[in-house]
Chain A
């Protein structure tokens, strides 16, 4: 595999792969580098029903189809890449990964976001971020789910499907944010309880989890809730620490761009969830990826004079 490209895309989620499709079809030499498998958060989505083209499709299946399209266009993909250093400041962009130095004329940053941890939980072994991966261990037991968005409700239903005996979902805000149909589905389970205006203030965990302390943020009342496991779905935060010395980030750590996905550095573009934006959907990630690739192409052509 060559190590010199027109465009290197960091992150193989939907935004990154859409960028790759556009860049490859513009006859640019393209590499996708991802620290994990391609697909990003879409891999965590059980069913997708809001994307034109499929009435309903599993997240992993959608990723597989997009990746097949990307590979058919001749894009090089390096998954499970250990990225050591990035220098985006020069005209030539340099990325060191897996002891290999990659160079490109332009870079598109599409590294997405990662789950926000439950800080009070420390190193407790019984704190999880994936119901499918870890839910079976809690069959017949009590679990707490933290987060009242779509993920919290969807994963709660997945936990109950695996035989959880009792489930409590808490949300810090004064309402839930999941789709009403999903809320209705969870509340139809007799062994599920949901509480808004409630936060976790402490976790009692020695060798294993014993209980959590919950505080009602409106009344300040606290209760002790004995449980065996905690599943955390409090949203996401951008993984931009590696860029922070080189790029302009906003106060939450997202990469600032203009409407054409240009960052504060020439030849560096950002797309998808790593940007500050109101709506983080597959379709908006595709839109970002499209614009970023078209602008990267335009930038590279301008270098050629």
Chain B
């Protein structure tokens, strides 16, 4: 995934506690749905720059997937004030993502 910043190690080490308003994008390198989801996140990010968006390679960090109770990608974890408030698996379009984000 090229368009979204890989999550820095310090955020993983403290399990996202330092993030106030972020979306974590779990993906796999050769996953076509993930490629589509990346474009959706790019579009969302352009319209909502205040939200930090990070990518996490699900194959590199399988323990995080397990900790958050999912196994499939693409999956988004929404973080507010250091807490994962929502985990959503599957492809969404930009409007669906915006609506989900707004509902949290």
Q: Is A132 an interface residue (CB 8 A)?
A: yes
Chain B proximity of A254: nearest CB distance (Å)? 23
Q: Are A80 and B73 in contact (CB under 8 A)?
A: no
Shortest Cβ gap from B77 to chain A (Å)? 17
> Closest CB of chain A to B41's CB: distance in Å?
9
- The stretch that binds B, out of A34-42, A171-179, A213-221, is A34-42
**Contacts known (A35-B93, A80-B43, A80-B94); A133 close to B31, Cβ less than 8 A:** yes
Determine whether the beta carbon of A37 is less than 8 Å from that of B39.
yes
Q: How far is the CB of A305 from chain B (nearest CB, A)?
A: 39
Residues of chain B with a CB closer than 8 A to A39's CB:
35
Contact A82 B33 (CB under 8 A): no
Pair B72/A137 contact, Cβ less than 8 Å: yes
A35 contacts across to B, CB distance below 8 A: 93
Q: Total interface residues on A, using CB and 8 Å?
A: 19
Q: Report yes or no: B39 in contact with A36, Cβ–Cβ below 8 A.
A: yes
With CB as the reference atom, state the residue of chain A lying closest to B95: A82
Most buried by B among A58, A79, A80: A80
Task: Let me know if A37 and B35 touch, CB within 8 A.
Answer: yes
Check if B30 is an interface residue, CB within 8 A of chain A.
yes
Q: Are A80 and B42 in contact (CB under 8 A)?
A: yes
Establish whether residues B33 and A130, one from each chain, have CB atoms under 8 Å apart when the complex forms.
yes
With a cutoff of 8 Å between Cβ atoms, the chain A residues found around residue B34 in the complex are: 133
A132 & B31 in contact (Cβ 8 Å cutoff) = yes
Chain A contacts for B43, CB-based, 8 A: 79-80
> Once A and B bind, how many residue pairs between them come within 8 Å at the CB atom?
54
With A37-B36, A60-B35, A134-B72: A80-B93 Cβ-Cβ less than 8 Å: yes
* B53 shortest CB reach to chain A, Å: 14
The distance in angstroms between the C-alpha atoms of A89 and B72, with both chains bound, is 43
Q: Does the CB pair A133–B36 fall under 8 Å?
A: no
Per-position binary interface string of chain A over residues 125-141, scored 1 when its CB falls under 8 Å from any chain B CB and 0 otherwise: 00000101110110000
Query: A residues within 8 A CB of B30?
Result: 46, 58, 60, 132
Interface residues of A in 32-54 (CB under 8 A from B): 35-37, 39, 43-44, 46
The reply to whether A137 and B71 form a contact with Cβ atoms under 8 Å apart is: yes
Bound CA–CA A46/B32 (angstroms): 10
**Residues on the B chain within 8 Å of A134, using CB:** 71-73
Distance A59 CA – B34 CA, assembled complex (angstroms): 14
Contact: B39 with A79, CB < 8 Å?
yes
| Chain B neighbourhood of A136, CB < 8 A | 62, 71-72
- Residues of A close to B39: CB separation below 8 A: 36-37, 79-80
Beta-carbon contacts under 8 Å, B47-73 to A? 62, 71-73
User: Which chain B residues have a beta carbon within 8 Å of chain A's beta carbons?
Assistant: 28, 30-36, 38-40, 42-43, 62, 71-74, 93-95
New contact pairs (5) apart from A60-B35, A133-B34, A137-B71, CB-CB < 8 Å: A37-B36, A37-B38, A134-B72, A136-B62, A136-B72
The 3 closest A-B pairs by CB, nearest first: A137-B71, A80-B39, A36-B36
Q: List 23 A-B contacts (CB under 8 A).
A: A35-B93, A36-B35, A36-B36, A37-B39, A39-B35, A44-B32, A46-B30, A60-B35, A79-B39, A79-B42, A79-B43, A80-B42, A80-B93, A130-B32, A132-B30, A132-B31, A132-B32, A133-B28, A133-B31, A134-B72, A134-B73, A136-B71, A136-B72
